[in-house]
Structure 1
C-alpha cells in the first residue's frame, strides 16, 4: 500500500514537471523583443491569409514583404533613386476592413520620389512595396507591422497589425523623362539642351545689348516653379546676383552668361543643376527638376 502511494506521488510530480515544460515551450522567449515577436506572429497571420485566399505570393527576403503580382510587365521600367512614381493603392487589414486609399475615382494618383519619401504622406510599407514593382505592374502586397508606420496605433489600424496593399504603378519617370514631358506639354521643345543637361530658350532677344559676363553683378527678375506648376520663389522688382562665382545654383551661372541685358529666357533644369538630392527648405523637394522664367534687368 505504501509503495502504491509513493508511486502516485512520483507520477503526479512527473506530470507537473511535464506540464511546466510544455507551458515554457509555448510561451514567448522572455528575451525576445516585442517587435520581433509581433513580426513573427504577423508572419504566421500572413501565411494563413495567403493559404486561405489561394494567393501565389512570394516573400521578398530583403524587405520581408509578400508579393502576389496580378499584372506582370517584364519590360516595365524599374524605379531608381530620383525617379518619380505615380500609383494607385488600397490599404486594408487582413480582415477586409479598408484603412486608406488613393483617390482612384477622381484620378488623383499618389506621387513619390524614390529616395525622398515624404513622412506622413506615404507609409514605409507602401513605399517599400512600390520599389518592388515595375511601371504598369499591379500587385497584392502583404506587409507585417512596421514600427516606423506613423499611421498605425489607432482604432482603425492598431499597432502590430499586418496589412494588405493593392497597388497599381501608373508611371515611373526619370528626371530626364519628367523634363521632356514638361517641354512637350508647355510647347518648349525648341529649347537648346546644353552639355550639362540645362534646357535654355530665349523668349525675348536684344542682340545689340551687352552680354552678361563672369564676375559681373546681374540684376535679375525671375519666377521659379516646380514642374507641377507650384511656385517656390520670385523676384518681381529684380535681385542682384554675382555671376560665375558659385553664389547661385549652377543652372543660373550657366544661363546668365548666355543672355544680354534686357533679354528674357525660360530654363528647365535637372536637380543636379539646382538643389540636388537635398532639396531646399520645404518648397523644393530632393531630386526636383525646376523651371525658371528670368529677365536680365542690368549687369555691371
Structure 2
C-alpha cells in the first residue's frame, strides 16, 4: 500500500514535467518562426483582452491584423507609384508609445508605394499603408517582420509585436499630384503633350532661333520636387546636348519647343524624368517641375 500511495505524487510530477516540456521551444524550430508564432499568440490575446475579436481582418500575406476604425469602401487604394500621406502612432502592446508622426505640427508623413527603398519607414508600417484606402483610419496589430531590423533597443526590444494607429490623409497618383501642383501654382494653361509633359512658355522671343536636336544649348534652370524642395539649379547656365538622350526625356522634348532667350516652366511625370528608381536626391516615382531659360544654342 505504501508504494501505491506514492503514485499520485509521481503522476503529478510527471504531469508537471510534461507541461513544462510542452512550453519549451521546439529545438528544431527556427528562431524567426518561433518568435513569429509567439507574436501571433500575443496579438490574439491582445485582441481578446480588448474586445476586438470579430472586428479584425488578418492579411495572410503579411500577417497583419487590421481593425478599421473608419472605413471608406469607395476610397482610393494605393498602387505602385502613388504618394500616400498619413499620420501614425506606433506603440507596444502594453501601451508604451515608441514612435509617431508630427501630428501636432500638421505635417503628415509621406511614403511612395513601390519605391525600391522604404527609407526610415518600417516594413510593418509600409505594408499597413498598402492595405488602407484614402480617408481610412485603422489600428494595425503587427508581428515582427523579418525584413525589419531585429536588433531592437530598450524601448522596443527585438522581435516585439507592435500596434500602429494610422490615419491615411491622401492617396495621389502622379497625374493627380501634377494636377494639384498646376492648380496651386496657377499653371493650368500649360500644354499637355502625349508623354504627359506640361509645357508653359513664360517668356517668348518669336523672332529668335528655334533650338534644334543635335545642338548644344546653354541653359539656366531650377529643378524642384512638387513639394517645393529644390534639388538642382544653374543660375549661370550649363551646356547640354539636345535631342541625344544626354538629358532626361522631358528636357529633350521641351527644349526643341523653345527659342533662344525664351523661358518656360515644365512639369513632368517620372516616366519622362528619373523613373521608378529616382536619382539622388530625387526620389523614386517623383514628378518634377523645372523653370528653364535658353541662353544660347549652337
Q: TM-score, normalised by structure 2?
A: 0.93
Identify which of 23, 41, 48 aligns with 1:51: 48
Shift of 1:237: 1.3
Once the two structures are overlaid, the 10-residue window that deviates more, 13-22 or 179-188, is 13-22
Counterpart position of 1:169: 168
Identify which of 285, 288, 292 aligns with 1:287: 285
Secondary structure in 1 aligned to 2:154?
A: coil
Once the two structures are overlaid, the 10-residue window that deviates more, 265-274 or 53-62, is 53-62
**Residues matched between the structures, number:** 296
5+ unaligned residues in a row in structure 2: which ranges? Answer: none
Counterpart position of 1:299: 297
CA distance in 1, matches of 2:33, 2:158: 13
Shift of 1:229: 1.1
Secondary structure in 1 aligned to 2:110?
A: strand
Counterpart position of 1:29: 26
CA distance in 2, matches of 1:291, 1:65: 38
Shift of 1:88: 0.7
Shift of 1:26: 3.0
Secondary structure in 2 aligned to 1:105?
A: helix
Q: In 2, are the aligned partners of 1:277 and 1:286 still within 8 Å (CA)? A: yes
CA distance in 1, matches of 2:116, 2:92: 23
Q: In 1, are the aligned partners of 2:116 and 2:277 still within 8 Å (CA)? A: no
Higher CA-based Rg: 1
Counterpart position of 1:160: 159
CA change 1:121–1:288 in 2 (3 A) is same
CA distance in 2, matches of 1:170, 1:17: 58
Report Cα offsets for 1:216-260 as digits up to 9, x if no partner: 111111111111111111111111111111111000000010000
CA distance in 2, matches of 1:113, 1:141: 19
Shift of 1:214: 1.0
5+ unaligned residues in a row in structure 1: which ranges? Answer: none
Q: In 2, are the aligned partners of 1:112 and 1:118 still within 8 Å (CA)? A: no
Report Cα offsets for 1:103-143 as digits up to 9, x if no partner: 11211111111112755521111111011000000000000
Report Cα offsets for 1:70-105 as digits up to 9, x if no partner: 111010000011000000111111111111111112
Q: TM-score, normalised by structure 1?
A: 0.92
